Structure 1
Amino acid sequence: MKIEKLPSGSYRIRKMYKGQMYTVVFDEKPTQKEALQAISEKLDSVPPASTIPTTFQSACDEFFRIKGNVLSPSTKNGYMSIFRNLSDEFKSLRLSDIKQTDIQKEINDYSVSRSPKTTANANGFILSVMETFRPDAVFHITLPQKEKKEPYIPTSGEVKLILEKATGTKYYIPLLLACCGLRRSEILALELSDLSDDNILTINKAMVVGSDKQWHIKSTKTTNSSRKIIIPEFVADMIRAQGYIYKGSANQIYENLQKYQNELGIQNFKLHALRHYFATMMSQTMSEEDVMKMGGWSTPHVMKAVYRHSTIDRDKEKQKNAMNGLFKNLS
């Protein structure tokens, strides 16, 4: 089997199978054994000819059938929503005839009334379907530029006011746990048995809405999300005294958080912003790696934004003190 070196420095192997050319690209030159194994795995993923759908719509139906059990409920729900909103014209295209220009046009039209992030998700879905049934095809789609938006991080004063408002309500414990870095889905899935006698909270599941519009318990967002954290003793004691974490709808937590903010006259922010607050405060005394572990982050993207936010605040304080010192000498 011929191993070709590409101008980019990568290596490529190709094989014709049942009238289709299949390609595997490597970053480094593979051995003959590695090349054979890779192309065999590629061919094993090709559906039998009798099951290859004829249109993009039938491809989507088959995609959901064969991957329904491995997609998370939230991912499947999102994909099905995207599918419903694609144009009938695109859905009716023959799968074998779909070109890059067809996908680009559909994405252009889809983006008119939707955010760059939603559009990128739609593109990801379309390419996932195409890769499943036309693994030899490669598409390069231009997406709308995403707006760079820094995560809002509430101040300690704002968080304190919110917690004071929630004291004595069923929302107090969920808000405290959000301040400990937990996601809403993780809080909703917690049970009393997840709390140990030494105040260690085991986070290994999440509650999310599935494609059937019902709430389901599933594993955490990523393997990094599963973790054990020590929570403050007073929070643990309140949970034990109450006998449960939270009973109520997910929306009620956010609705009451917004109500507290409006009553206090402070900026509206989502429950997830308390997770950013947790990262900000922890980053002042702990390493990035330790904060990521406590919060269950798998990538440092959010952490980088948090550290940048903290650095800007520290720089502002330094500049303020320097300016005050300068003019103190002039007065």
Structure 2
Amino acid sequence: MRIAQTMPAKKGMRGWGRVRLLPSKRYQAAYVGPDGLVHKAHATFTAKLDAEGWLAAERRRIEQGTWSPPGQRAVAALTFGHYAERWFTETTGRHKPRTRDLNRGYLDRVILPTFANLELEGLNVQMVRTWFASLDARPTRNANAYSLLRTILNQALDDELIQVNPCRIKRAAVKVRVVEPIALSAGEVRALSAAMSIERWRALVLVAGFSGLRWGELAALRRSDVVLTDSECSVTVARAVVRRTGEFVIGRPKSHAALRTVPLPSALREALEDHLELYALPGRNGLVFPSVGGTVAHENVVRPHLKKAAAKIGHQSFRFHDLRHTAATMFAQAGATLADHMTLMGHTSAAMSARYTHSTASRNRELVENMWSD
């Protein structure tokens, strides 16, 4: 048996064999065997040390005369289920807890029942098409599950475990609205607020309708986040509430773009001052919109009162999230540019990463002042 050759030395090379960092941040190990061919480990490694350990074991096989090409050895096929679990574990520090909860649900209830025991290398486009066509008519869930499957297989592609990503269904990850949102006018937002049977939620409706804050952002607002002066009326989003395993968790908003200060029409100042005096919890860290019991408010508590108030002004199917859509529509109608709009709403997009340079505080102030009038 010939002595193993040393692969040409270059960046990332060892004295014998090669360890390469892949785009997926995993390590690939390879070497030139006694047969003169390049042999790679059948899987990639999380740690460089593990890749080096594999190379050391291969060299011992050669020195002991027990070597055979790795591809000819009996190796258990890597299943999608095994790889998906490994991907899920590795994303612990990259994804927020709420995102991980959602991904876990999509894996367990939608993806793994079909793909768990299938060989990763054996997945093809037809398998993915058949699976997607078999899903129940739940557009948003299906789009999210498909997107997750595609993400996991993209990493497998980066790890060079598959030759091509079989997730190639056009527009499968596009979310289709089941219910069309309702956009109110400024006058309707004020009428909706006045129609709320519980007074403590009237200011909440006004802030939501003229700021576009998400429910979780509104529920997490503290007194220190509200500025009410002669020259400024605004709220700053510094945190958000999510519900996990039956408990409220207050943390950072869903994205960096969500960290923002949103100006409000100055005509809201008096209503907010009255609300803070009557209903907000004391102290700088006191919640602005707490529940009656003094804890984080749940949307389910407000929803029935909102629906009744909306029905009074002629909108039977109005939802709380429609207040965010209302603000977004009014921003656009007031003349907001795309950059203005993205900044005020806290949206994020890699394709428009430079949008913030085109939006200024004075511009936002002018926009929200114009929103108050019909």
Fold in common (TM above 0.5): yes
SS of 2:84's partner is helix
1:211-269 alpha-carbon deviations (Å, 9 max, x no partner): x3432223223222211123331243134313341122122122321132345553321
Larger Rg: 2
Whose helix proportion is higher, 1 or 2?
A: 1
Question: Who is 1:125 aligned against?
Answer: 148
Change (3 A) 1:213 1:147: same
Q: What is the distance in 2 between the residues matched to 1:97 and 1:132?
A: 16
User: Any idea what SS the aligned residue of 1:171 has?
Assistant: helix
| 1:16 aligned residue | none
2-side partners of 1:170 and 1:295: how far apart?
25
Matches within 5 A, 1:1-331: 40-42=21-23, 44-46=25-27, 47-48=44-45, 54-86=78-110, 88-110=113-135, 113-135=136-158, 136=160, 137-143=164-170, 147=176, 151-166=181-196, 169-179=199-209, 180-196=211-227, 198=229, 199-210=233-244, 212-231=245-264, 232-241=268-277, 242-244=279-281, 245-247=288-290, 248-288=297-337, 289-298=339-348
Tell me the CA shift for residue 43 of structure 1.
6.8
Change (3 A) 1:222 1:89: closer
| Residue identity opposite 1:279 in structure 2 | A
Q: Measured at CA, do residues 93 and 85 of structure 1 come closer, stay the same or move farther in structure 2, by a change above 3 Å?
A: same
Distance 1:239 1:53 in 2: 63
Counterpart AA for 2:345: G
- Inter-partner Cα distance in structure 1 for 2:77 and 2:344: 45
Q: 1-side partners of 2:312 and 2:213: how far apart?
A: 25
4+ residue stretches of structure 1 with deviation over 4 A? 49-53, 143-150
Percent identity between the aligned chains? 20
Superposition RMSD on alpha carbons, in Å?
A: 3.2
Report SS of the residue matched to 2:93.
coil
Counterpart amino acid of residue 234 in structure 1: E
CA distance in 2, matches of 1:132, 1:59: 10
| Shift, 1:42, TM fit | 2.3
Alpha-carbon separation, structure 2, partners of 1:283 and 1:274: 14
* Aligned residues between the structures: 261
| Residues 84, 164 of structure 1: alpha-carbon distance in 2 compared, 3 angstrom cutoff | same
Aligned counterpart, 2:7: none
Contact 1:226 1:296 in 2 (8 A): yes
CA distance in 2, matches of 1:158, 1:53: 61
Output the CA distance in 1 between the equivalents of 2:241 and 2:77.
34
- Deviation, 1:53, is 8.7
Deviation sequence 1:114-133 (CA, Å, 0-9, x none): 33332221111112222233
Structure 2 SS opposite 1:42? coil
**C-alpha contact (below 8 Å) 2:228/2:269 kept by paired residues:** no
| Equivalent pair of 1:152/1:269 in contact (CA under 8 Å) | yes
| Residues 53/229 of structure 1: CA separation in 2 closer, same or farther (3 Å cut) | farther
Stretches of structure 1 lacking an aligned partner (at least 5 in a row): 1-32, 34-38, 302-331
8 A contact 2:241–2:250 mirrored in 1: yes
Q: Which residue identity does 1:129 align to in structure 2?
A: I
TM-score, normalized by length of structure 2? 0.60
